[in-house]
Amino acid sequence: MKKEQNCPVIVTRPEHGISRKLMNPNALRILYRLKDNGFAGYLVGGCVRDLLLGREPKDFDVVTSATPNEVKRMFRNCRLIGRRFRLAHLHYGDEIIEVATFRSQAADEPEPEQAPETKPQAAHKAEHRQRHPRSLKDNDGMVLRDNVFGTPEEDALRRDFTVNALLYNIVDFSIIDYTNGLADLNAGIIRTIGEPDVRFQEDPVRMLRAVRFAALLGFTIEKQTHAALLSAADTIVRAAPARLYEEMLKLFFSGEAARCCDLLQRTGLFAALFPHFSNWLGTESDSFPHTRFGQMLDYVDSRIQQGDKVSPPLLLALLFGEYIDEKTERFRRQGLPWQQSFDAAVAEFMGETCPTVMIMNRVGIALRDIISQQSRLNKIPGRRPDSFTARKDFNEIIEYCRITRGNRKDVAGQLAWWTAQAEQQPVTLPSGPAKDSTAPQRKKKRQRRRGKPKVQETI
Ligand code: ATP
Ligand code: MG
Three-state SS string over 94-143 comes to: CEEEEEEECEECCCCCCCCCCCCCCHHHHHHHHHHHHHCCCEEECCCCCE
Q: pLDDT band for position 441 (50/70/90)?
A: very low
For the CA of 159, the nearest atom of ligand 1? 30
pLDDT at 105: 74
Q: Is the pLDDT of residue 33 over 90?
A: yes
Instruction: Please pick, among 59, 197, 203, 343, the residue that the annotation labels catalytic.
Output: 59
Q: Is the pLDDT of residue 425 over 90?
A: no
**Residue 208 CA: which ligand is closest?**
1
Kindly report which listed range (46-50, 127-131, 171-175, 423-427) carries the lowest average pLDDT score.
127-131
Q: Is the pLDDT of residue 113 over 80?
A: no
pLDDT at 84: 67
Angle between helices 205-217 and 257-267 (to 10 degrees): 130
Q: Is the CB of 206 under 6 A from ligand 1?
A: yes
Instruction: Please pick, among 61, 146, 177, 325, the residue that the annotation labels catalytic.
Output: 61
- Are the C-beta atoms of residues 99 and 71 closer than 8 Å to each other? yes
Per-residue model confidence as pLDDT tens digits over 169-183: 999 999 999 999 999
Most confidently modeled range among 16-20, 229-233, 426-430? 229-233
Give residue 347's identity as a one-letter amino acid code. A
pLDDT at 114: 40
Q: Is the CB of 96 under 6 A from ligand 1?
A: no
Residue with more model confidence, 131 or 233 = 233
Q: Is the CB of 155 under 6 A from ligand 1?
A: no
Alpha carbons within 13 angstroms on the beta-carbon side of residue 130 total 6
Closest to 342 in 3D by CA, of 314, 362, 313, 371: 371
Q: Is the CB of 313 under 6 A from ligand 1?
A: no
Ligand 1: which of 159, 163, 211 to mutate, most ligand atoms within 8 Å of CB?
Answer: 159
61 catalytic, yes or no? yes
Q: Is the CB of 146 under 6 A from ligand 1?
A: no
Per-residue model confidence as pLDDT tens digits over 265-291: 999 999 999 999 999 998 887 777 888
pLDDT at 268: 97
Q: Is the CB of 45 under 6 A from ligand 1?
A: yes
Q: Is the CB of 73 under 6 A from ligand 1?
A: no
Per-residue model confidence as pLDDT tens digits over 297-314: 999 999 999 999 999 999
Per-residue model confidence as pLDDT tens digits over 380-405: 887 888 889 899 999 999 999 999 98
Instruction: State the chain's mean pLDDT as an integer.
Output: 86
Alpha carbons within 13 angstroms on the beta-carbon side of residue 370 total 30
With a pLDDT cut of 90, the percent of the chain lying above it is 70
Kindly report which listed range (28-37, 67-76, 217-226, 282-291) carries the lowest average pLDDT score.
282-291
**Peptide bond preceding 14: is omega within 30 degrees of 0, i.e. cis?**
no
- The rounded Å distance from CA 352 to ligand 2 centre is 31
Per-residue model confidence as pLDDT tens digits over 341-353: 999 999 999 999 9
160 catalytic, yes or no? yes
Per-residue model confidence as pLDDT tens digits over 241-250: 999 999 999 9
Give residue 127's identity as a one-letter amino acid code. E
- The rounded Å distance from CA 181 to ligand 1 centre is 14
Q: Is the pLDDT of residue 103 over 60?
A: yes
pLDDT at 120: 44
Kindly report which listed range (5-19, 199-213, 241-255) carries the lowest average pLDDT score.
5-19
**pTM reported for the whole predicted model:** 0.84
Q: What average pLDDT does range 318-338 have in this prediction?
A: 96
**Residue 159 CA: which ligand is closest?**
1
Region at 159 (left for phi over 0; alpha for psi -120 to 50; beta for the rest): beta
- The rounded Å distance from CA 330 to ligand 1 centre is 42
For the CA of 202, the nearest atom of ligand 1? 28
